[in-house]
Amino acid sequence: MAAAAASQDAVGHSGNPSVVRQLTRLVLTTLLITGATWLGLYLFEQLLAPDLGIQHVHMQLTGSAITAAVSFVLIYAVRRIVHQNVARLNPHFSNIFSFFVIIIISLIAAVVLMHQWGINPQVILVSGGLTAVITGIALSAIMGNILAGGLVLTAFPAKVSDRVFMVGDNIHGVIDDVRLMYTKIITDEGTEYYIPNSAIVQGSVRIVKERPLKYLLPIREGEHIQVIASAERYSGTVSRIMPKFFFLASDGDADKEIVLAIANLLSGQYVIIKDRAGGKQALDL
């Protein structure tokens, strides 16, 4: 029984392998394919390239293309595994893991590319001169946003899936994702709102962390309520509450589900009548 339970835990609730096993398998597969590819390129360059008139620079270009392709595929595969298992993982941890995996893979790819072209990083840093300064200025905004993204994920009080309020723009929403360059927020109206990570760290955008939506609403799942919206009246049991909508199982038709907007509820367009033990109490929102 214990062995069966351990096996079931390792496979997961949905019958899929655990996240660690999937990532381990991905890393081993990547190393195997990459090693075989580089060995094949090396043997091809040593044995066949001279006879075919293929120069070393052509092999360098081929190797660079393979390095870039492997990096993009590996990043995509890791993010896909994380998103497929987001229900098992903490959403904020998932974003932190994806964020730093992209950084690490990108750095490794950059080092490999420099090795392929015989570039010494120390030489670039010491003797780059004006080129290094110009490149540094051009990349400063990009690197600033990337570093700020790391700070948002690790040090900012509001985390992924937290409900927030942007003071200056008067926008309520939920932090959906923190990427290399920006933070995505899904507003109560369902629109996507993007903020540069550097603006959050520098304080240009003021963000207030709010209580979760379930604490802001006067209704709970399983409650029987009536909703008055202008000339319409709905009656039923609250079956689901989602970030944008709440659902009523209609009293008149067991197969009918009424969908109402959370934004209208918060803005006061609905009057809610809740069933109570001692009668009914109207809450004019």
72 and 115 part of one domain? yes
Q: What percent of the chain has pLDDT over 90?
A: 4
**Tens digits of residue pLDDT in 150-191:** 888 888 888 888 889 888 888 888 898 888 888 999 887 778
Residue 171 lies in a domain: yes
**Distances in whole angstroms, Cα of residue 237 to Cα of each of 126, 221, 248:** 70, 8, 5
81 and 57 part of one domain? yes
106 and 188 part of one domain? no
61 and 43 part of one domain? yes
Given 67, 90, 119, which residue is the final one in a domain? 119
At 249, give phi and psi (nearest 5°): -80, 110
Q: Model-level pTM greater than 0.75? A: no
254 and 200 part of one domain? no
**Tens digits of residue pLDDT in 216-228:** 788 888 889 999 8
Contacts of residue 224, defined as CB under 8 A and 6 or more positions apart, other chains included, come to 235, 236, 237, 238, 274, 275
Domain count, the chain: 3
Domain that holds residue 105: 12-119
**Tens digits of residue pLDDT in 80-131:** 888 777 667 777 788 888 888 888 888 888 888 888 787 776 665 555 555 5
